[in-house]
Amino acid sequence: MKKRPLLLTAILLSAVNFLYAQTAPVTNEETVKLARWVETETNAGRGGALNNIFDVDKLIENISKNSKTLMTDPSFIEGFKTGFVGSMGSYGTRIVASTQGGSYKLLRIYQKDGSQHMIFRMFGNSGLNYHDYVLVRIKDSIKASDCFVYTTDETLSLTMGKLLDMMMAGQAGSTQVPPEVGMVTKLNELRKSGDYAGAKQYYEKLDDRVRDNKAVQVIYLSICQHLDKELYQKQLEHYGKLFPAASSGYMMMLDLYFLKKEYDKGIDAVNKLDDLVGKDPFLDYYRGLFYKVAGQKEKSSACFDRVYKYDSLIVPGLKKG
């Protein structure tokens, strides 16, 4: 009879250990391991690590907190989830394409509000950006529940929630993904295919509430950059007026200050961005460019030397001094 209590105790302890394993905080060591794997796979041109980085249920849960549509119409979630899963399944593939000619580099890991974070710098043909992932434990895996995107100054869930509500405006009761979603996707597809003239025409057909969305503005800025210098400058100024307090403005305004030859303002923007991301040695590359066009060769050479020492391969063709 004594064996039964012992057996029950063993079963209870086993259950407690199992539950703890499912809810235990993500450790620093686990974060480093995941971050290095993501960095290695992505820079090798393989999108699989980031294709599966998110726990879609957790991400949709966060989107729901930022979307009146999902909050008030739970029946919409299943239909939304089906299309969303397919889209996020190619997230890593899109990152690989955006880092052609550059890299996806772990900048740092840190802990905030009990959660582990990892920040990556994305640099390549699509420009400069930073991604700050929030990590959670899902059964025996470490996943991201959300990501703060520096070019939009928002978490992915907030951007998606606002975009969803914006597109569902005036379509109360609908459980179908509205046609505007396809239009925004089409805009981005045209951009990625290199059909910038077609993308511009498509953008001009969008409703004003869609066009002035921050995420859409970022896509359109990339389109204008390939079309016309004056159009690009005009759009940068428009972005600055739409979002005057946005920290993403520091990144967006770098090109504007180059175009307007306001080099001191450009260096100041680089310094503010550096503070914002918690210091990034690579930003000396942008300081070096501003100093170079300003005719300050000594300072420019010093900046490029530091970047070369940090990572000699980070910018193709970069040489010391």
CATH number at residue 125: 3.10.450
Question: Which of 106, 145, 143 lies closest to 123, judged by CA?
Answer: 106
Token pair of 46, please? 């393989």
Q: In this predicted structure, what is the pLDDT of residue 164?
A: 72
Q: Counting Cβ atoms within 10 Å, is residue 241 exposed (0-12), middle (13-18) or buried (19+)?
A: exposed
Binning pLDDT at 50, 70 and 90, where does residue 10 land?
Answer: very low
**Has residue 12 been placed in a domain?**
no
pLDDT, tens only, 103-136 = 999 999 999 988 999 999 999 877 889 999 999 9
Please give the pLDDT value at position 37.
Answer: 96
Report the pLDDT value the prediction gives residue 177, as an integer from 0 to 100: 47
Indicate if the pLDDT at residue 297 is higher than 90: yes
Answer whether residue 67 is part of any domain. Answer: yes
Say if pTM beats, i.e. exceeds, 0.85.
no
What is the SS3 assignment for 287? helix
In tens, the pLDDT along 128-160 reads 899 999 999 988 899 999 999 988 888 988 888
Domain that holds residue 102: 22-172
Number of domains in the chain: 1
Q: What is the pLDDT of residue 56?
A: 87
Which pLDDT does position 145 carry in this prediction?
Answer: 94
Whose CA is closest to 122, among 280, 312, 310, 304? 280
Higher pLDDT, 166 or 4: 166
**Tokens, residue 147:** 């990501």
The reported pLDDT for the residue numbered 83 is: 66
Residue 147 lies in a domain: yes
pLDDT at 30 over 90: yes
CA nearest 273: which of 249, 305, 309, 245?
Answer: 249
Q: Is the pLDDT of residue 84 over 50?
A: yes
For residue 300, is it within any domain?
no
Cα distance between residue 146 and residue 161, in whole Å: 12
| pLDDT for residue 80 is more than 60 | yes
Average pLDDT over residues 89-95: 87
- Examine residue 156 and state whether it is found in any structural domain, yes or no: yes
State yes or no: pLDDT of 284 exceeds 60: yes
Average pLDDT score, the chain: 82
Q: Is residue 281 part of a domain?
A: no
Interior CA angle at 175 toward 172 and 176, to 5°? 110
CA–CA distance, 213 with 18 (Å, rounded to integer): 44
Which tokens hold the place of 301? Answer: 């050479």
Residue 87 pLDDT > 90: no
Please, are residues 146 and 157 in contact by the beta-carbon 8 Å criterion? yes
| Pick from 93, 27, 84: nearest CA to 59 | 84
Percent of the chain at pLDDT exceeding 70? 80
CA–CA distance, 219 with 210 (Å, rounded to integer): 12
* Residue 260's pLDDT band (cuts 50, 70, 90): confident
SS3 content of the chain, % helix, strand, coil (to 5): 60, 15, 25
For the CA atoms of 29, 33, 38, 39, what is the dihedral angle to 10 degrees?
Answer: 90
Name the band, by pLDDT with cuts 50, 70 and 90, for residue 82.
low
Please report the pLDDT score of residue 4 as a whole number: 53
Q: Is residue 183 part of a domain?
A: no
What is the per-residue pLDDT for 15? 41
CB 135 within 8 A of CB 115: yes
pLDDT at 74: 63
Residue 6 counted as domain residue: no
The alpha carbon dihedral of 273, 279, 281, 284 has a sign of positive
In the three-class reduction of DSSP (H, G, I as helix; E, B as strand; rest coil), residue 314 is classed as coil
